[in-house]
């Protein structure tokens, strides 16, 4: 059901928070994004022609409620200001639109709102006091008249809000929804438009309204068939921007953790002035809720100095996986109380849920591509260096091979025969300096150790042989040919 203003009139139209976030109302009939327009009579500039002919204005409902003016209109009904004819008390009356006159499901949903809201009995939930039908058969509910503004208007005008004020508002929202959960009632459409702020002194006093799409998890007074008809399988009810992932998926098993998600998301918007999910249509928002990683508030707006404990509280409520999310609204409220009392941390995990992951979301696809390209480039460079090194290194015989290569030069340490000149050993050419070579050479030799310069060969002198006088007399060889005289 589209939210409706009560009391001081404000304009409910689709808005873009800071030009990036769409804030539409959702019509449960066709699940499309629609407007919730104020009635012209509520603008204070005089009644239009259509307002003058509204048959309900000036009439008396149930013989005791005198309709004064039309305040606004939503997807299912219109809200009027009325006065009790006997005690003079101002009340607000929500009347089902004429086009739903014969829609029994919508009539039952309006009756359900009256019953659920009145059964909770909490100071932060709008008080519903009566129920009836108009002369033409349209159902209506009577509730307390509120003078103030919806939280959505405050966010659009003043966000980001101070941390303390944001926590003070969310504490009351959590308290109201926790009371509803204790009665087995899940709101399922928690959003700033359904959080009404009534000024009491210098403090914001919260009233949670619009239980029209609420789900009774257990109802001992009603038969299960009626409640199943109102929450039939696959029905996606609520406002898409504040739907939990399980609601967006059309899950049947919707419990109080859906309200915890929406409450944490409201706190996120109060603190930052923005929402993490942005889209131009219904399907785009739904896809982001189910797939997009949420950045902590302090990461989105680091200049605001949002405390780390507040980050943890918000992210604990925005876990996409329900078992990791805060499990009870009472635990969420307790942590808000701790922060308001000056605590610098929050208690997580006492409800069996895992610690929230406050790491920034995964990098985008382009970062992944760049990382892969860098790894490939490093592999190609390493391969080139190995090939280059293989050309310069001499081939060594394999272990166990029968082929033994003779050394190309004699060992510099081998002793020469006496009197034979020493072989000239050419020293190896020195390796070129990286600085003197080309850029490619410098890159190749940058990370490689320089080979050790071989030691100069040791040249040993021939051993001295002592001569005697007998050595000068050489006897002729008997095999030498005779000399001819």
Active site (catalytic) residues: 189
Residues 6 or more apart whose Cβ sits within 8 Å of residue 324: 353, 354, 356
SS3 assignment, position 151:
helix
The dihedral region occupied by 19, where left means phi > 0, alpha psi between -120 and 50, and beta the remainder, is: left
Q: Is 454 exposed, middle or buried (0-12, 13-18, 19+ CB in 10 A)?
A: exposed
CA-based diameter of the chain, in Å?
176
User: What tokens were used for 483?
Assistant: 């000399």
User: What tokens were used for 124?
Assistant: 């932060």
Helix (H) or strand (E) holding 129: strand 128-133
Please state whether beta strands 90-96 and 60-61 pair in parallel, antiparallel, or not at all (unpaired): unpaired
Question: Does residue 324 contact residue 356 with C-beta atoms inside 8 Å?
Answer: yes
Residues 6 or more apart whose Cβ sits within 8 Å of residue 335: 313, 316, 346, 347, 348
Query: To which residue do tokens 């003078």 refer?
Result: 147
**Terminus-to-terminus CA distance in the chain, angstroms?**
148
Question: Does residue 78 contact residue 97 with C-beta atoms inside 8 Å?
Answer: yes
Query: To which residue do tokens 């009491």 refer?
Result: 200
Residues 6 or more apart whose Cβ sits within 8 Å of residue 296: 311, 314, 315, 358, 360
Query: To which residue do tokens 């999310």 refer?
Result: 325
**Pick from 283, 292, 337: nearest CA to 313:** 337
**Can you give the length of the chain in residues?**
485
Question: Does residue 177 contact residue 190 with C-beta atoms inside 8 Å?
Answer: yes
Rg of the Cα trace of the chain? 44
Please state whether beta strands 139-144 and 185-186 pair in parallel, antiparallel, or not at all (unpaired): unpaired
């Amino acid at each position: 059901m589209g939210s409706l203003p009560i009391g001081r009139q404000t304009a409910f139209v689709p808005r873009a928070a800071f030009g990036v976030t769409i804030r539409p109302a959702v019509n449960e009939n066709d699940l499309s994004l629609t407007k919730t327009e104020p009635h012209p009579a509520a603008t204070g500039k005089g009644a239009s022609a259509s307002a003058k002919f509204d048959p309900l204005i000036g009439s008396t409902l149930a013989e005791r409620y005198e309709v004064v003016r039309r305040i606004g209109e939503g997807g299912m009904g219109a809200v009027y200001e009325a006065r009790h004819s006997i005690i003079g008390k101002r009340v607000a009356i929500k009347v089902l639109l004429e086009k739903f006159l014969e829609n029994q499901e919508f009539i039952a949903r309006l009756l359900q709102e009256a019953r659920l809201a009145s059964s909770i009995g909490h100071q932060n939930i709008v008080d519903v006091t009566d129920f009836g039908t108009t002369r033409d058969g349209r159902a209506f509910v009577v509730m307390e008249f509120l003078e103030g503004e919806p939280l959505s208007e405050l966010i659009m005008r003043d966000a980001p809000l101070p941390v303390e004020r944001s926590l003070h508002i969310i504490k009351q929202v959590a308290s109201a929804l926790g009371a509803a959960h204790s009665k087995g009632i899940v709101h399922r459409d928690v959003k700033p438009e359904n959080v009404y702020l009534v000024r009491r002194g210098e403090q914001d006093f919260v009233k949670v309204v619009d239980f029209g799409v609420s789900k009774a998890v257990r109802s001992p007074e009603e038969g299960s068939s009626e409640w199943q008809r109102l929450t039939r399988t696959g029905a996606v009810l609520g406002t898409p921007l504040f739907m939990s992932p399980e609601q967006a998926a059309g899950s049947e098993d919707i419990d109080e953790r859906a309200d915890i998600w929406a409450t944490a998301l409201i706190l996120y918007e109060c603190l930052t002035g923005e929402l993490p999910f942005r889209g131009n249509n219904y399907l785009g928002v739904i896809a982001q809720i189910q797939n997009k990683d949420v950045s902590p508030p302090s990461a989105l707006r680091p200049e605001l100095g949002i405390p780390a404990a507040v980050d943890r509280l918000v992210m604990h409520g925005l876990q996409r996986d329900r078992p990791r999310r805060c499990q009870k609204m009472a635990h969420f409220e307790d942590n808000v109380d701790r922060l308001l009392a000056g605590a610098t941390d929050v208690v997580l995990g006492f409800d069996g849920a895992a610690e929230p992951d406050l790491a920034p979301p995964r990098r985008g696809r382009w970062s992944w591509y760049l990382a892969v390209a860098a790894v490939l480039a490093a592999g190609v460079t390493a391969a080139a260096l190995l090939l280059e090194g293989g050309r310069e290194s001499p081939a060594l015989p394999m272990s166990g091979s029968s082929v033994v290569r003779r050394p190309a030069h004699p060992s510099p340490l081998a002793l020469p025969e006496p009197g034979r000149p020493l072989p000239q050993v050419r020293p190896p050419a020195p390796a070129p300096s990286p600085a003197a070579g080309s850029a490619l050479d410098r890159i190749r030799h940058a990370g490689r150790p320089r080979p050790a310069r071989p030691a100069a060969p040791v040249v040993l002198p021939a051993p001295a042989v002592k001569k005697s006088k007998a050595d000068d007399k050489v006897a002729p060889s008997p095999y030498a040919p005779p000399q001819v005289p």
